């Protein structure tokens, strides 16, 4: 056996010995046929024992839920009783998590020594190290700034990418990713953007002529690390709330119609809105970046997974913002470019209308409070049972995503 491979697998066994095992957990796809069945699932999702990965309001798009062994009988019973169709898409989520860990450790060990690799999911320290290396290697075009610390004290860094012409105060595209810990493909997508703009500059110079890009690749580093070493399915931040539950949903914590809809008041819930708006250092950091760029920032793009959506405000109401047509035009440009390049379909619309209502999101805040004209949430594709694409899917997913982002950026540059 290859030496690196052996070390990788040994490391994997030792490092994750205490991680949550998910042994016997099942993942179900539930196909609600009508509004009543959808409503039933919405009610069910309020129960914390069901971890809904996906709960779109559209009939015909299945909802997906992870259920621990003790609760499976009750769920199946309920669904059977009401005649709601379901299938089990993962018989043992624990095995999938273990396989993912092994694969990631192996691919990581095979690409060690490289500056950055899209053959494995990167850990937070590796991401920060890549940003610092870029600043060192490309001092005229790249600068890295520590914008604050996460609750657990991790340094959160933005990278600002320019074309090096020295012109100050250009317009800006601000991108973030990873506010939800388990959505690993999102920070990978942000790293891919950085990689393209910096290390493939010549091909992308048109995106940097009159605009600078500011990227915060991991909004929730504590949660991201926790999902790597302790609990794969963790979504929230990590600041304790009560003696038994930690974490706030960062994307319910922004101060615009905070907590009004689609956000839980229960600290143990996955969509907990927080004890107050901006209770989390991580969301404060995003807020402060947005305000520091007011006037300059023309597009805010926040990367999530999954479901292939390009969403714009509002998330708090089904009404649309006055300028929704501008955002729709930009999002359609992204969706069309992806469709033409790979055939992958993205759904475009306001988040309440095409996904579900949820207030306190960063996208609504960016548009309403920070005055950024174009504000878009991009939900990257699902892999595995949702949040766990295989390592071989990272590059194709990210390069496809980049095609859409480039098209949206070009549209923004043309419009503003
Ligand atoms: O629910 C969310 O925060 C996002 N979906 S995810 O599956 N990645 O959790 C969608 C957010 C859309 N925007 C707002 N509701 N404001
Ligand atoms: Zn998300």
Q: Where are the domains of the chain?
A: 26-91, 117-415
pLDDT confidence bin for 52, thresholds 50/70/90: very high
Instruction: Evaluate: CB of 364 within 6 angstroms of ligand 1.
Output: yes
More confident of the two residues 19 and 304: 304
Tell me if the pTM is above 0.85: yes
Judge if 26-91 and 117-415 fold alike in CATH terms.
no
314 cis-preceded (ω within 30 degrees of 0): yes
Q: What is the CATH number of domain 117-415?
A: 3.40.630.10
Nearest bound ligand to CA 315?
A: 1
- The whole-chain average pLDDT of the chain stands at 95
**pLDDT of 13 higher than 70:** no
Q: In angstroms, rounded to a whole number, what is the distance separating the alpha carbons of residues 176 and 190?
A: 7
**pLDDT of 386 higher than 80:** yes
Q: What tens digit of pLDDT does each residue of 291-319 get?
A: 999 999 999 999 999 999 999 999 999 99
* Percent of the chain topping pLDDT 70: 96
Atom of ligand 1 nearest to the CA of 379: 8
Mean local confidence (pLDDT), 347-363 = 97
C-beta of residue 289 within 8 angstroms of C-beta of residue 214:
yes
Mean local confidence (pLDDT), 242-253 = 96
Q: Residue 269 has which token pair?
A: 């819930």
**pLDDT of 9 higher than 60:** no
**pLDDT of 41 higher than 80:** yes
Dist. CA 148 → ligand 1 center (Å): 24
User: Hey, what CATH topology would domain 26-91 get?
Assistant: Alpha-Beta Plaits (3.30.70)
Mean local confidence (pLDDT), 9-22 = 69
pLDDT of residue 207: 98
**pLDDT of 1 higher than 80:** no
pLDDT of residue 48: 86
Report the DSSP beta bridge partners of residue 11. none
pLDDT of residue 16: 64
Mean local confidence (pLDDT), 184-210 = 98
306 cis-preceded (ω within 30 degrees of 0): yes
Mean local confidence (pLDDT), 157-184 = 98
Give the Cα-Cα-Cα angle 131, 118, 310 (nearest 5 degrees): 85
Q: In angstroms, rounded to a whole number, what is the distance separating the alpha carbons of residues 93 and 47?
A: 20
**pLDDT of 7 higher than 80:** no
Instruction: Evaluate: CB of 304 within 6 angstroms of ligand 1.
Output: yes
379 catalytic per annotation: yes
C-beta of residue 306 within 8 angstroms of C-beta of residue 297:
no
Mean local confidence (pLDDT), 353-371 = 97
**pLDDT of 14 higher than 60:** no
**pLDDT of 38 higher than 60:** yes
Instruction: Evaluate: CB of 251 within 6 angstroms of ligand 1.
Output: yes
Q: How far is CA 322 from the centre of its chain?
A: 26
Instruction: Evaluate: CB of 253 within 6 angstroms of ligand 1.
Output: no
pLDDT confidence bin for 128, thresholds 50/70/90: very high
Nearest bound ligand to CA 250?
A: 1
**pLDDT of 113 higher than 80:** no
Q: What tens digit of pLDDT does each residue of 77-106 get?
A: 999 999 999 999 999 999 999 999 999 999
pLDDT confidence bin for 114, thresholds 50/70/90: confident
pLDDT confidence bin for 220, thresholds 50/70/90: very high
Mean local confidence (pLDDT), 61-68 = 95
Q: Which residues of 330-367 are buried (b: 16+ CB within 10 A; e: fewer)?
A: bbbbbbebbeeeeebebbbbbbbbbbbbbbbbbbbbbb
Atom of ligand 1 nearest to the CA of 251: 3
Instruction: Evaluate: CB of 180 within 6 angstroms of ligand 1.
Output: yes
Mean local confidence (pLDDT), 224-251 = 96
pLDDT confidence bin for 19, thresholds 50/70/90: confident
Q: Residue 9 has which token pair?
A: 């697998």
Dist. CA 90 → ligand 2 center (Å): 21
Q: Residue 196 has which token pair?
A: 């393209």
Mean local confidence (pLDDT), 377-392 = 95
CA dihedral of residues 274, 122, 90, 401 (deg, nearest 10): 90
Dist. CA 66 → ligand 1 center (Å): 18
Query: Where are the strands (E) in 306-401, listed by range?
Result: 309-312, 347-350, 374-380
**pLDDT of 190 higher than 90:** yes
């Amino acid at each position: 056996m290859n030496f690196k491979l052996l070390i990788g697998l040994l490391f994997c066994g030792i490092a994750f010995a205490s991680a949550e095992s998910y042994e016997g957990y099942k993942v179900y796809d539930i196909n609600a046929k009508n509004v009543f069945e959808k409503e039933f699932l919405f009610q069910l999702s309020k129960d914390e024992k069901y971890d809904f990965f996906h709960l779109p309001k559209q009939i015909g798009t299945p909802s997906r839920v992870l259920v621990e062994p003790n609760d499976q009988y009750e769920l199946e019973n309920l669904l059977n009783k009401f005649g709601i169709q379901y299938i089990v898409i993962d018989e043992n989520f624990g095995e999938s998590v273990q396989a993912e860990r092994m694969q990631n450790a192996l691919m990581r060990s095979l690409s060690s020594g490289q500056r950055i690799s899209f053959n494995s999911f990167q850990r937070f320290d590796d991401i920060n190290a890549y940003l610092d290396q870029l600043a060192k290697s490309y001092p005229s075009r790249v600068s890295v700034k520590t914008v604050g610390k996460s609750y657990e004290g991790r340094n959160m860094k933005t990278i600002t990418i320019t074309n090096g012409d020295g012109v100050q105060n250009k317009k800006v595209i601000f991108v973030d990713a990873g506010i939800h810990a388990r959505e690993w493909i999102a920070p990978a997508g942000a790293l891919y953007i950085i990689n393209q703009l910096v290390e493939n500059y010549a091909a992308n110079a048109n995106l940097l002529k009159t605009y600078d890009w500011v990227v915060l690749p991991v909004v929730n580093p504590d949660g991201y690390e926790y999902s790597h070493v302790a609990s794969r399915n963790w979504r929230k931040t990590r600041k304790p709330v009560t003696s038994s539950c930690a974490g706030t949903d960062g994307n319910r914590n922004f101060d615009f119609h905070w907590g009004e809809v689609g956000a839980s008041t229960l600290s143990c819930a996955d969509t907990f809105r927080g004890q107050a708006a901006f209770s989390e250092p991580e969301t404060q950091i995003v807020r402060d970046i947005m305000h520091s760029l007011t006037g300059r920032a023309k597009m805010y793009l926040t990367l999530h997974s999954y479901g292939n959506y390009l969403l714009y405000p509002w998330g708090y109401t089904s009404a649309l913002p006055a300028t929704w047509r501008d955002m729709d035009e930009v999002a359609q440009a992204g969706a069309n470019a992806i469709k033409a390049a790979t055939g992958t379909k993205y759904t475009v619309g306001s988040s309440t209308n095409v996904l579900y209502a949820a207030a306190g999101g960063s996208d609504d805040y960016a548009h309403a409070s920070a005055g950024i004209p174009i504000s878009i949430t991009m939900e990257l594709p699902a892999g595995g049972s949702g949040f766990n694409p295989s390592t071989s899917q990272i590059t194709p997913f990210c390069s496809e995503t980049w095609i859409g982002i480039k098209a949206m950026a070009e549209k923004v540059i043309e419009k503003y």
